[in-house]
Amino acid sequence: MKVIETKDITYEYPDGTKALEKVNFDVEEGKIVALLGPNGAGKSTLFLHFNGILRPSIGTIVIDGEPVNYNKKDLMRIRQKVGIVFQNPDDQLFAPTVLEDVAFGPMNMGLSKEEVEDRVKEALIRVGMDGFEKKPPHHLSGGQKKRVAIAGILAMKPKIMVLDEPTSGLDPKGASQILRLLYKLNKEGITIVISTHDVDLVPLYASKVYIISDGKIIKEGTAPEVFEDVKTIRGANLRLPRIAHLMEILEKEDKLPFDKPYPLTIGGARKRILKEFED
Ligand code: ADP
């Protein structure tokens, strides 16, 4: 079942910038879907449509089987189903302590004090930030802030979690911790949508990849399908994952017998190389 479905949506900002053009973007329940594109391609604009912050100039959005109508009741309902984690945690975290921050969402849902406390505790444990309740969010590292922002969304028990560039600004360890956390949450049943320009991490996690360029979806498929189209990838100002690039060079420059599709991960490359040595 599709939990997010956009039908030919076009969006123009009030100043006339056309940020999205006839975008069809579907998310199947239980998957990890990645939206890959360079800066300014329209990733954030598209994501802001998923919980009704922006409304398409043309086209419709269906969330969990229901077309969004933009009345107050509808918006409340979809904001509970779809949690958005913004790119910059400082746009999301504003309370004086971690505890108050994570409690903010569930408190606004009108839950009892006990229920809010339980949810906050559980959310902080799930993201590995229990013990930080009394800390002011601005004293945390980038990766820790991101995890608290994720906890704030988790505490509202969303069905779908949308994360705008969840690894941007993090060091490699922080980035990989966040992706592993998202993978775990996905295994626990949450549908995940991420935007990124990080081609090296995407293939490891996403079951479906969309490429956006200049407000248009120019390619969709599994990671191997998408990265096989090297011309489109480079045309969108993206590059191949480093491993695929290495295999491409070994094949083209050194005439080693690595056919396309090139492996996208170290694990995949290792298998391919060992196979060549066996043969
Ligand atoms: P991405 O998230 O892929 O970096 P954005 O969705 O932020 O891309 O931007 C898509 C396009 O819309 C860009 O050309 C950007 O300059 C423009 N844009 C973004 N926000 C606004 C805004 N508030 N007003 C006018 N144009 C905007």
Looking at every residue in the chain, the average pLDDT score rounds to: 93
Distance in Å, CA 277 to ligand 1 centroid = 48
User: CB within 8 A of 155, min separation 6: which ones?
Assistant: 102, 103, 105, 106, 116, 119, 120, 122, 123
Where is average pLDDT lowest: 7-11, 93-97, 114-118, 208-212? Answer: 93-97
Distance in Å, CA 37 to ligand 1 centroid = 12
- Please say whether the beta carbons of 125 and 188 come within 8 A: no
Distance, CA of 34 to CA of 258 (rounded, Å): 27
Q: What is the pLDDT of residues 160-214, one digit of tens each?
A: 999 999 998 888 888 888 999 999 999 999 999 999 988 888 888 899 999 999 9
> Which is it for strands 160-164 and 82-85: parallel, antiparallel or unpaired?
parallel
**What one-letter code names the amino acid at 255?**
K
DSSP category for residue 243: H
Q: What is the pLDDT of residues 15-65, one digit of tens each?
A: 999 999 999 999 999 999 999 999 999 999 999 999 999 999 999 999 999
Tell me if 43 CB under 6 Å of ligand 1. yes
Give the number of C-alpha atoms closer than 13 A to the C-alpha of residue 255, restricted to the C-beta side.
Answer: 0
Q: What is the pLDDT of residues 139-148, one digit of tens each?
A: 999 999 999 9
Distance in Å, CA 195 to ligand 1 centroid = 14
What does each C-alpha distance from 265 to 24, 186, 224, 231, 259 come to in angstroms? 28, 20, 10, 20, 15
Q: Where are the beta strands (DSSP E) in the chain?
A: 2-12, 18-23, 26-28, 32-36, 58-63, 66-67, 82-85, 160-164, 191-196, 208-213, 216-221
pLDDT confidence of residue 260: 80
Report the predicted TM-score, pTM, of the whole model to 2 decimal places: 0.92
* Residue of minimum CA distance from atom 16 in ligand 1: 40
pLDDT confidence of residue 91: 85
Tell me which of 17, 87, 196 to substitute to probe ligand 1's pocket, judged by most ligand atoms within 8 Å of the beta carbon: 17
- Please say whether the beta carbons of 80 and 195 come within 8 A: no
Which atom of ligand 1 sits closest to the CA of residue 48?
A: 6
pLDDT confidence of residue 279: 67
Distance in Å, CA 21 to ligand 1 centroid = 13
Tell me if 57 CB under 6 Å of ligand 1. no
Tell me if 148 CB under 6 Å of ligand 1. no
- Residue 135 sits at φ, ψ, to 5 deg, of -70, 145
Tell me if 233 CB under 6 Å of ligand 1. no
pLDDT confidence of residue 263: 87
Tell me if 41 CB under 6 Å of ligand 1. yes
List the beta bridge partners of residue 192: 32, 161
Distance, CA of 271 to CA of 229 (rounded, Å): 22
- Please determine, for residue 9, whether its predicted confidence score (pLDDT) is greater than 80: yes
Tell me if 40 CB under 6 Å of ligand 1. yes
Q: What is the pLDDT of residues 102-127, one digit of tens each?
A: 999 999 888 999 999 999 999 999 99
- Please say whether the beta carbons of 195 and 50 come within 8 A: no
Question: How far apart, in Å, do the first and last CA atoms of the chain sit?
Answer: 43
**What one-letter code names the amino acid at 261?**
P
Q: What percent of the chain has pLDDT over 90?
A: 71
Tell me which of 13, 91, 195 to substitute to probe ligand 1's pocket, judged by most ligand atoms within 8 Å of the beta carbon: 13
Q: What is the 3-state secondary structure (H, E, C) of 96-128?
A: CCHHHHHHHHHHHCCCCHHHHHHHHHHHHHHCC
